[in-house]
Amino acid sequence: MDLRQLRYFVAVARERNFTRAAEQLNIAQPPLSRQIQLLEEELGVILITRTSRPVKLTDAGRLLYEQALQVLGRVDQMKDATRRVGMNRNRVLSIGFVASTLYGGLPVLVRKLRQNAPELDIQLLEMLSIQQVAALKEGRIDIGFGRMRHNDPNVVATILREERLVVALPQDSVLAQDEGPIRLSDIADQRLIVYPKEPRPSYADQVLSLLQEEEIRPRDVLEVREIQTALGLVAADSGVCIIPSSARQMRSDVRYRVIDSPGATSPVIMNHRAGDTSRYLDLIRRLIREMYAEKPAWLAANNLAAPDPDP
């Protein structure tokens, strides 16, 4: 087994099609098929079921795919780190984040991290929660801060806190005239704007599940790609939107009311690769504990209960 065979296999597993994988790899299909066959012969198992369209991975194929992503990701990281050392450049630490975490502690954490580890070249990459899981396994990021729970055994998820949810309302709407908590039933006859439209599952599904659990059906649902668009539509009196409390800072031309329901929360989740023993991961954990211990105003204002300071 060599890295070239793993890259070929990953391309086929992603595309679920030998022809498209060959085009992506810029090689002919026969040698691609032959390398996959040699890999199967070496392992003694079938990795891909070729009789279906699109092709499907066997159980062994799915296991190899997950492991191959990690191996190839770490190889790419090794190459980059070696080049950076050779060029006397700092180590890169890539952090994936969902947009709403920019208003709930991530900037403070990054500032503390820069102060405590000035040798790091910190890269911040906005990506959805579900994209972070794949990016971690592929080695494209080192840490992720998202909002979606998952059960991927290759990625460790730590819930840092449960953040309140609020309803964003047009300034002139009847519901915006009261500043107190709002019941979910109060928005049953409203157009609900949810984000992101894709990929799914996502935060949009968290919101829709919350409404379904309380047997509330909005008048209709409008799906948009990002929170900025959703809040812009609220400001234009095109509907209402449920957002994490800390994201209230994004726009001042809409009104916000906290949802009066114990289940109306969204987790802030830190994700990292299973088996990661980096000292920078331990440093990030310590800095988060310190940040929570300082009891900043945004933490008390946006969380249903005091978070566990020991993630």
How confident is the model over 63-96, as pLDDT tens digits?
898 888 878 887 887 787 677 666 655 578 999 9
Taking 60 as the threshold, does the pLDDT of residue 35 lie above it?
A: yes
Same domain flag for 180 and 125? no
Asked whether residue 281 is domain-assigned, the answer is yes
Return the pLDDT at 84: 65
* Secondary structure percentages of the chain, helix, strand, coil, to 5: 45, 20, 30
Which residues is 272 bridged to in the sheet?
Answer: 156
In a domain, 309, yes or no: no
Would you call 240 exposed, middle or buried from its count of C-beta atoms within 10 A (0-12, 13-18, 19+)? buried
d(C-alpha 70, C-alpha 66), whole Å: 7
Q: Are residues 95 and 53 in the same domain?
A: no
What's the confidence (pLDDT) of residue 306? 44
Segment 294-298 mean pLDDT = 82
User: Which residue range(s) make up the domain with 38?
Assistant: 3-82
Helices (H), 157-278: 203-213, 227-235
Q: Report the predicted TM-score, pTM, of the whole model to 2 decimal places.
A: 0.69
Q: What is the arithmetic mean of pLDDT over 103-112?
A: 90
The answer to whether 225 touches 253, Cβ cutoff 8 Å, is no
pLDDT of residue 148: 92
State the sign of the Cα–Cα–Cα–Cα dihedral 217, 222, 224, 226. negative
- Report if residue 65 sits inside a domain: yes
Give the total number of structural domains in the chain.
3
- For residues 166 and 154, state if they share a domain: no
Q: Do 128 and 178 sit in the same domain of this protein?
A: no
| Mean pLDDT score of the chain | 89
Over residues 249-267, mean pLDDT: 91
Q: Identify whether residues 148 and 296 lie together within a single domain.
A: yes
Q: What is the pLDDT of residue 296?
A: 82
Residues 198 and 219 in one domain: yes
Q: What is the mean pLDDT of residues 53-58?
A: 89
Based on the fold, state whether residues 155 and 63 are members of the same structural domain. Answer: no
**129-188 residue pLDDT tens:** 989 999 999 888 999 999 999 999 999 999 998 999 999 999 999 999 998 999 999 999
In a domain, 307, yes or no: no
- 257 in the same domain as 125: no
Q: What is the pLDDT at residue 241?
A: 97
Q: What is the CA radius of gyration of the chain?
A: 23
What pLDDT score was predicted for residue 87?
Answer: 60
Asked if 22 and 54 sit in the same domain, the reply is yes
* Residue 51's pLDDT band (cuts 50, 70, 90): confident
Same domain assignment for residues 180 and 249:
yes
Same domain, 149 and 178: no
User: Does the pLDDT at position 209 exceed 80?
Assistant: yes
Predicted pLDDT at 308: 53
Which residues neighbour 221 within 8 Å (Cβ) at sequence distance 6 or greater? 191, 192, 193, 194, 208
- List the CATH number of the domain containing 130: 3.40.190.10
Residue 300: the pLDDT is 74
Look at residue 201 and tell me whether its pLDDT is greater than 90: no
Percent of the chain at pLDDT > 90 equals: 62
State the CATH number of the domain containing residue 28: 1.10.10.10
Q: Does a structural domain hold residue 55? A: yes
Q: Report the pLDDT value the prediction gives residue 234, as an integer from 0 to 100.
A: 96
Residue 282 reports pLDDT greater than 90: yes
Query: Which pLDDT belongs to residue 145?
Result: 96
Tens of pLDDT along 217-251? 888 999 998 899 999 999 999 999 999 998 888 88
Confidence of residue 304 (pLDDT cuts 50, 70, 90): low
Residue 42 has pLDDT above 70, yes or no: yes
Asked if the structure places residue 126 within a domain, the reply is: yes
User: Tell me, what's the pLDDT at 309?
Assistant: 45
Domain end call among 48, 82, 116: 82
Q: Calculate what percentage of the chain has a pLDDT beyond 70.
A: 95
Residue 54 falls inside a structural domain: yes
Q: Calculate mean pLDDT across residues 8-13.
A: 92
Pull the structure tokens for residue 87.
């060029």
**Could you say which of 57, 82, 107 is where a domain stops?**
82
